Amino acid sequence: MTALVRFLRGATLLGQTPCDPAATLLEHAERAGLSLAYNCTSGTCGSCMVTLLIGEVEVPDVLPPGLDDVLVDDGARLACIQCPKGDVDVDVRPPL
């Protein structure tokens, strides 16, 4: 069975695509036909922030300027630089 990356807004499924561990969440969103907000594509600005609901998205050892420990603990991930590992559900709304 193929792992999927699913993009949601609340309980509404916006799109999904097969997981490619070498592709960022932003690339997966584009493959699913979605346009996520982004700007810098380097993890600096935070405009591509999404919330990880289920699954694993690797967090870099050194957090980029767009993230901090509190945000990461709340499920925040930067779609432009972080890649999913297997089945992942992502809410496209930023963490509260």
| pLDDT over threshold 70, residue 7 | yes
The whole-model pTM stands at 0.92
Per-domain residue ranges of the chain: 4-91
The closest alpha carbon to 6, from 86, 94, 96, belongs to 86
- CATH superfamily of the domain spanning 4-91: Beta-grasp domain (3.10.20.30)
The closest alpha carbon to 54, from 27, 90, 24, belongs to 90
pLDDT tens, residue by residue, 58-88? 999 999 998 999 999 999 999 999 999 999 9
Q: Give the model's pLDDT for residue 23.
A: 97
Q: What is the Rg, in whole angstroms, of the alpha carbon atoms belonging to the chain?
A: 12
| pLDDT over threshold 90, residue 94 | no
CB 90 within 8 A of CB 77: yes
CA angle centred on 45, ends 83 and 11, rounded to 5°: 55
| pLDDT over threshold 80, residue 25 | yes
